[in-house]
Amino acid sequence: MEKKIVFPEDFWWGSAWSAEQSEGTGDTGKAETIWKRWFSEEPNRFYDRIGPDVTTDHFNRYKDDIRLMKETGHNSFRLSLSWARLFPDGGRGEINRKAVDFYRDLMSEMIKNDIKPFINLYHFDMPMKLQELGGWASRETVEAYVNYAVSCFKEFGDLGYHWFTSNEPLGPILGTYLEDFHYPNFIDFKEGAQAAFYTILAHAKAIKEFKKLNLKSKIGVILNLSPTYPRSSNKWDTEAAETADAFYTRSFLDPMVKGTFNKKLVSILKEYDQMPDYTEEDLKIISENTAQILGLNYYEPRRVKARLTAVNKNSPFLPEWFFELHNMPGKRMNIYRGWEIYEKGIYDLCMDIKENYGNIESFISENGMGVADEERFLGENGQIIDEYRINYIKDHLAYLYKAVNEGCNIKGYHLWTFIDCWSWINAYKNRYGLVSLDLATQKRTIKKSGEFFKKMTEENGFLY
């Protein structure tokens, strides 16, 4: 029998996207980012050869878009600020007043419409000039970032409901230094460990400055976290899963939320001579300045088994020396994107945060269903009939509800994403929005899921 699921009052309902994926160039002047550079060098690496300049044109259309946020039931929304727009001299120098005005107008318009701005400072969009100095692998980038962060706290401190130092810091590390899907594609684990360490240091230093300003809001980080499941309960599989978890989950979660580093991870890095450089002062700053709020991006679980084949230890060092990803027979797939669907993962993740991270105030900051060639689901009047997305949202929220009822400190749910937007090398291949986009005309149309979302947020729940 169906039952009514009702979330706590004041639950944050909304969606998320980022500056580089939505704004377009605009007329404020903007420095070159790594995406723009990469596209100019290797357009073939981008789906349909569409680069970061072809977006939803939110810069010019933000007022209409905020109306659409309202029409789809948002009471909150996560945007990111563009470092390259606010500091057009490559991420340093003087702040650009025109860019400040743009973001102030945009967020004021949100607030006028009762939509709380959740401000993220970094979403994969490194200014190219800083990348030329080493990007996150360079201390100079940390200093430039802290200057950028402090300027934003001062300029927008009255507008931000909550703040985040970055989105999915693991992404650029994995993509750049381990797997070749993020510029400048430099496969070298140790350099990646350095970049990861400096990202963590930048987070802590920004929080340290934030606290001095006594703003009303909180500051934290958005992490992509996949609960890790071993293939079996035998000791080899469980050991392999623990190692994968140390590399991919605890690596950022522990220092950014608890201020400590995962012991297993540190011992492996020491044994294989992969430790980054750091000072005692860095460790002190990290331990004293941790997240006050945590965003959880959850898409799919990580399934792991023991590595039974020998690795060639003359090849570049990789976490996969210690485990293999397990392709579990019978797993349920989102066939339109190629990711596993496992809604219970959202519950397991929340319980982990409750039990091991002091039940820090958290929310789901991304969850969603990407669909390739979504026009195939076009119904009458040009609306996308995305029942699969509605079911996906409900199934995940039912488990989130269970977590809330079991005491998890979960304050909201943000879907990825609002309007179908550009996505890094996948460009417009996978559509995730509550609102569809006709790229040729920029016409926006609310999908069936957008209508569902509105009703759900009005009722603060749904029948399940």
Q: Taking CB under 6 A as the criterion, which residues in 258-297 touch ligand BG6?
A: 297
Query: Which residue in 23, 191, 366, 374 is the catalytic one?
Result: 366
Pairwise CA distance, residues 44 & 408, whole Å = 44
Nearest to 343 by CA among 401, 300, 289: 300
Which CB sits closer to ligand BG6, 78 or 305?
A: 78
Closest CB 427 distance from ligand BG6, rounded Å: 8
Compute CA 234 distance to the chain's CA centroid, rounded to the nearest angstrom. Answer: 33
Q: Dig out the tokens for 378 from the structure.
A: 């076009």
- Residue with structure tokens 């969603």? 368
Contacts of residue 312, defined as CB under 8 A and 6 or more positions apart, other chains included, come to none
Q: Which residue's CB is nearer to ligand BG6, number 413 or number 416?
A: 416
> Please, which residue, 16 or 204, has the CB nearer to ligand BG6?
16
User: For residue 149, what are its two tokens?
Assistant: 């962060």
Nearer to ligand BG6, 337 or 389 (CB): 337
Interface with ligand BG6 (CB under 6 A), residue from 224, 226, 334, 362:
224
Count interface residues toward ligand BG6 (CB under 6 A): 12
Contact (Cβ atoms closer than 8 angstroms) between residue 193 and residue 269: yes
Q: How far is the CB of 18 from ligand BG6 (least distance, A)?
A: 6
430 binds ligand BG6 (CB under 6 A): yes
Residue nearest to ligand BG6 as judged by C-beta position? 423
What span, in angstroms and rounded, lies between the C-alpha atoms of 367 and 369?
7
The residue (of 168 and 352) whose beta carbon lies closer to ligand BG6 is 168
Binding to ligand BG6 in span 58-77, by CB under 6 A: none
> Strands (DSSP E) along 212-292, which ranges?
218-224, 228-230
Q: By C-beta, is 383 or 426 nearer to ligand BG6? A: 426
Q: Is 366 a catalytic residue?
A: yes
Least separation in angstroms between CB 17 and ligand BG6: 7
* DSSP secondary structure of 115-184: -EEEEES-SS--BHHHHTTTGGGSHHHHHHHHHHHHHHHHHHTTT-SEEEEEE-THHHHIIIIIIS-STT
Q: Report 135-194 residues binding ligand BG6 (CB under 6 A).
A: 167-168
With contacts defined by CB under 6 A, name the span among 172-180, 258-266, 422-430, 441-449 that binds ligand BG6. Answer: 422-430
Cα dihedral sign for 391, 396, 402, 408? negative
Distance CA 91, CA 87 (A): 5
Q: Where are the beta strands (DSSP E) in 213-331?
A: 218-224, 228-230, 293-297, 302-305, 324-325
What does the radius of gyration of the chain's CA atoms come to, in whole angstroms? 21
| Contact with ligand BG6 (CB under 6 A) among 426, 442, 445, 460 | 426
- Quick one: 178 or 285, whose CB is closer to ligand BG6? 178
Scanning 99-107, 125-133, 328-336, 423-431 for contacts with ligand BG6 by CB under 6 A, the matching segment is 423-431
Residue nearer to ligand BG6 on the CB measure, 96 or 167:
167
Asked if 408 and 350 touch (Cβ cutoff 8 Å), the reply is yes
Should residue 416 be labelled a site residue for ligand BG6 when binding is judged by CB under 6 A? yes
Closest contact distance (angstroms) between CB of 104 and ligand BG6 is 24
Binding mask 366-385 for ligand BG6 (x = CB under 6 A): x---x---------------
Answer yes or no whether residue 340 interacts with ligand BG6 by CB under 6 A. Answer: no
398 within 8 A of 350, measured Cβ to Cβ: no
Report which of 306, 314, 156 is spatially closest to residue 240, judged by C-alpha positions: 306
Closest distance between ligand BG6 and the C-beta of residue 171, in Å?
Answer: 7
Q: CA-CA distance, 196 to 202, in Å (whole number)?
A: 10
Least Å distance, CB 332 to ligand BG6, is 18
Name the residues that contact ligand BG6, by CB under 6 A: 18, 167-168, 224, 297, 337, 366, 370, 416, 423, 426, 430
Residues labelled catalytic: 366
